[in-house]
Copies of this chain bind each other. A is one copy, B any other.
Amino acid sequence: MRPPIIILTEAELRALVPLDLAAIDSMEGAFRALATQAVVMPPVMRLDMPLGEVDVKTAYLPGLPHFAIKISPGFFANPARGLPSTNGMMVVLSAETGLVEALLLDNGYLTDLRTAAAGAVAARHLARADAASAAILGAGMQARMQLRALSLVRPIRAARVWARDGAKAQAFAAEMAQALDFPIAAAASVEAAVEGADVIVTTTPASEPILHHAAAGAHVTAMGSDAPHKNELAPALLAGGTYVADRLAQTRIQGELHHAIAAGLAAPDAIFPELGQVIAGLAPGRTDPAAITVTDLTGTGIQDTAIAAFALTRARAAGAGQTFTA
């Protein structure tokens, strides 16, 4: 007898799984597992079409009763039609039987959430414990979530934001200062935004470096590079810092590291630590308060499986969603 399938909508998932410390902890567990367990994570499947693209990610994490397959479309003419450019859903299957257990119709919300949570995990393990000021580059939805996530793990008391569109930076500053209850200023340049900042998070779709310098002791999280052409960090900044990948095999070909390798500032086969190894104590992270640490987040299927399993556990505990027998 097949068990019924639980279907959860975006609104239900937003209510069940807000951006909080529990979500961040679940992401930390996923990265730790990547370094310490026999995780199975195939390369991302990508389908390129005339009007858009779709990425499919998956991973199996020993010990979790479920695994997720995530479908992430990006169709960049959508906003002209009044539709969001990114969407998507996750299918959650039993790791015991392969049966579909849940359909998470999240329209990309869980991806946004796990990406923000990964930024917080990086800051928790690499930023100085007393990091109090943040600079956010980019002023979109992910920029908002990164600042909120960061403020859950570090005692942030002030932030600056920069965006190519100054009006968006102003709107971000006004909105987020109210939400987070500390002063946030819109900066006129990247340099002005990052001057003296303890933590810098880049969230733009830039394809040329926008960040060239960081203060001594700063931590930088680059979370924009989910495709080979994307590039936010100057290769020299990366090469001069303590570099940590989310998944080295992936950052070598599509992360910020890829551009440092292309610039001849990193060897193609150089070994760098992964975030999970730092979390598990298998690799050093920050060893010097004056070091610049850099985390390169390209997005991994293990994060999707972890956040989907987390959401499904919460949904079952709450009796949320509709059930459907196929």
Contacts and interface: CB of A to CB of B under 8 A. Distances in A.
Copies in the complex: 2
B49 A45 contact: no
B87 A75 contact: no
Interface residues of A, number: 51
Interface in A42-69: 42-43, 45-52, 54, 56, 58-60, 62, 67, 69
Interface string A70-85: 0101110010011100
Given A1-B82, A69-B71, A75-B97, A105 B40 contact: no
Which of A42, A48, A67, A326 counts the most chain B CB atoms within 10 A? A326
A324 B51 CA distance: 25
B87 A89 contact: no
Contacts of A16: none
A89 B49 contact: no
A100 B82 contact: no
Contacts of A56: 45, 56, 58, 69
Given A83-B2, A89-B100, A51 B105 contact: no
11 contacts: A2-B107, A9-B324, A10-B326, A43-B45, A47-B60, A54-B98, A56-B69, A74-B98, A87-B98, A100-B105, A103-B103
Given A54-B58, A54-B69, A87-B99, 20 more contacts: A5-B105, A45-B45, A49-B67, A52-B98, A54-B98, A71-B91, A73-B98, A75-B96, A75-B98, A78-B98, A81-B97, A83-B97, A83-B99, A87-B98, A87-B100, A89-B91, A89-B100, A89-B326, A91-B91, A100-B105
